[in-house]
């Protein structure tokens, strides 16, 4: 029995090592067991359902800005992944950027590149560079596979060794997906862990810089976001984020590298 347990344990460790993914921008490794194509398909269905129940804003200056800024960051990411020979990582991404008329101070990006920005966050972004901070952060959640990571954590917690034999059914996977990305308006409440938020901060700073947006504007944006808190309750966008002091320190640490990306993109230092 002990030998069997050792074999199972060794298999689990080997499986986990094989299923670890390394972020090419930050170097962070994470366990990603789920199939990205399946996740993207489920995300598309959830996204369509969410938009069908929301008031989507089209044709306004703000809506066009979200499209333009989002596409610039997406193109910068594509160029970077192509330059390091990992363009295959982006195969399942079909990008969409939509503005939703809602007073919530929030924005999100689902796996596969399905992005929503709420009008409630626009007074805080103020301009395209502030919007680039938000979109860079949210797009980073998707590119870093944070959805897959969270789904994988839930798979292990709920089904344990069953994942070694790939015995999780489509229905079970769909159930896990809906826990991570709730249906309809509740998708705006999706949560990431602190390590994932910190990675999205760092990666987002680099992506906005690669797209030609001044990363030095990230600090003022986060200060405006923190100032928008009402009483002791932070905006939903900050609910699982690191402390303001931690974020400021990390942004300063990552700024030299971000400024180099910005310089290469043609920005003025």
Instruction: Supply the residues annotated as catalytic.
Output: 138
| Residue 166 zone, left/alpha/beta (φ > 0; ψ -120 to 50; rest) | left
Ramachandran sector of residue 233 (left: φ over 0; alpha: ψ -120 to 50; beta: rest): beta
Q: Is-contact 138 109, C-beta < 8 A?
A: yes
Q: How far apart are CA 83 and CA 94, in angstroms?
A: 20
Query: What whole-number distance in Å separates Cα of residue 187 and Cα of residue 221?
Result: 24
| Cβ-contact 265, 212 below 8 angstroms | yes
CA atoms within 13 A on the CB side of 58: 5
Number of separate helices (H) and strands (E) present in the chain: 10, 6
Instruction: Give the other-Cβ count within 10 Å of 60's Cβ.
Output: 12
């Amino acid at each position: 029995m002990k030998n069997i347990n050792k074999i199972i344990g060794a298999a689990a460790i080997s499986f986990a090592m094989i299923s670890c993914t390394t972020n090419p921008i930050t170097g962070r490794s994470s366990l990603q067991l789920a199939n990205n194509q399946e996740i993207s398909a489920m995300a598309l269905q959830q996204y369509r359902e969410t938009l069908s129940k929301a008031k989507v804003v089209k044709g306004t200056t703000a809506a066009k800005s979200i499209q333009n800024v989002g596409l610039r960051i997406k193109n910068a990411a594509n160029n970077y992944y192509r330059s390091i020979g990992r363009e295959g990582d982006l195969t399942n991404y079909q990008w969409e950027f939509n503005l939703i008329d809602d007073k919530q101070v929030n924005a999100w990006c689902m796996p596969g590149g399905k992005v929503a920005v709420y009008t409630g966050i626009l007074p805080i972004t103020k301009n395209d560079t502030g919007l680039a901070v938000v979109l860079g952060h949210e797009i980073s959640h998707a590119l870093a596979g944070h959805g897959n990571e969270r789904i994988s954590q839930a798979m292990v917690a709920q089904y344990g060794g069953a994942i070694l034999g790939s015995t999780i059914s489509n229905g079970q996977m769909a159930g896990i997906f809906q826990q991570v990305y709730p249906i309809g308006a509740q998708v705006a409440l999706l949560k990431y862990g602190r390590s994932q938020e910190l990675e999205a901060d760092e990666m987002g700073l680099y992506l906005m810089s690669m797209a030609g947006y001044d990363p030095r504007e990230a600090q003022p944006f986060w200060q405006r976001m923190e100032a928008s808190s009402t009483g002791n309750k932070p905006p939903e966008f900050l609910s699982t984020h690191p402390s303001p002091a931690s974020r400021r320190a990390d942004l300063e640490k990552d700024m030299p590298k971000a400024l180099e990306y910005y310089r290469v993109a043609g920005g003025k230092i």
